[in-house]
Amino acid sequence: MQKRLRNLFLSNTFKDTGKIFAGNIFSSFLAICFFVLAARVLGPGNFGIFSSVISLSLIFIAIGDFGLGSALFRFVSAELKDTKKASKILEFLFNLRVGSATAFLIILLVFSPLISVITFGEINMFYVFISILNAFFFLIVDFEIQKYQSRKQFKTASIYIVLVNFFRVLGLVFLVLINIKDYKYFLAIYALSSGVTFCFLYFVEPIQLKLGADWKVKFRDVFHFSGWMGLNKLLSSIGSRIDVILIYRILTPYETGIYSASKQLSFGVPLFVGSFATVIAPRFSSISEKDLYMYLKKTIGLSVLICFGLIFGIIVSPFIIGLFGSEYAHSLAVLRILLFSYIPFVLSTPAVNYIIYALKKPRVIFYITLFDVFVVILGNMFFLPRFGVIGSSYLQVVVNTVLFFFANVYLFSKIKT
């Protein structure tokens, strides 16, 4: 047992996860600072509106991703030995990202009045425009960061991960210092920070805007994989963010703020799990078949270690909620349930990434996630009027458990030991 633990801690996967985690944990710290400061200044009601707009933006990001970020791990990571070929694929995917993000932005602007009515129950163009603007900038800057991750340059990627939230905190502190406490300005800072970060990253390593002569062949290969991944990301984002929007529509901005305070804190967990997935995804894409099972067992061991961190988070949650102030005391129960719900989510990470990148079956995860989305939407519509935000919190336990169960059942029915 002691030897296994030593090998686990000395493994390249653990070291690379640590590099990404270092960037993500500092980025999470800055994000918490941003949301705590915003929540304390705005109060639960305005913070509820603020969080609803951000949730809509994150759904836009998932829709506009089209699985291109995951395609980096699938195609660039697999060709790292051929530097020229990897660079050509990277250049092609970047052009696809810029083109698709621009087209998506235009489509959203055309339908923005309808989106506003469906989401907020009124025509409020500012809410929708800020959501669209943030989505556009973030889609570009997120691709830039994933570029380094797909090339296994995890130290560089971890540094750049921090920049977006650094600029957000810097902008928010400036607004507070000059006594501007309007949530609309806070939303503007939130959106523009991604644009500033992209400008910085593109200056460091610009990529040529040119598709290349064989773009049709590349597009066919990429779309076959990224199409499923785009749908997966879309459904995952809807499942994880639609609860805030439904609470805003069914309950009140105040209750949305109470729930969102815990939701923002708990999102540090998927950020860390994302660090873990970022490291294992390129390896599952490129590792030899005979080593896959041993590597899977190693990733399962790491996921169990992460769960101990969740248990610690549940224990110290009263202190964490205290950062928001006495107005958010009712957020404590929500935070504890949400942190607990992430235990099956963390444990499902090795199986999900194995299915997607080793078995190359992203559609399997799509079907599981599709079922989860139906549970979240229908469950919230039923439970919110009866049990309030606690009902929505328990639904997260259900959907993450479903993901864990079905992903592992499918994996071990296909795996070759």
- Structural contact between residues 303 and 347, judged by C-beta atoms closer than 8 angstroms: yes
**Per-residue pLDDT tens digits for 263-287:** 877 766 666 666 666 566 656 666 6
| Structure-model confidence comparison of residues 342 and 4, the more confident one | 342
Kindly report the three-state secondary structure assignment for every residue of 288-353: CHHHHHHHHHHHHHHHHHHHHHHHHHHHHHHHHHHCCCHHHCCHHHHHHHHHHHHHHHHHHHHHHH
| Structure-model confidence comparison of residues 75 and 241, the more confident one | 241
d(CA 167, CA 313): 27
**Per-residue pLDDT tens digits for 106-140:** 888 888 899 888 888 888 888 889 998 888 888 88
Report the half-sphere exposure of 253 (CA within 13 A, side-chain side). Answer: 14
* Per-residue pLDDT band at 185 (split at 50, 70, 90): very high
What does the domain layout of the chain look like in residue ranges?
A: 2-414
* Per-residue pLDDT band at 1 (split at 50, 70, 90): very low
Tokens standing for residue 76: 């660039």
Mean local confidence (pLDDT), 149-164: 72
Per-residue pLDDT, 8: 45
Mean local confidence (pLDDT), 291-300: 77
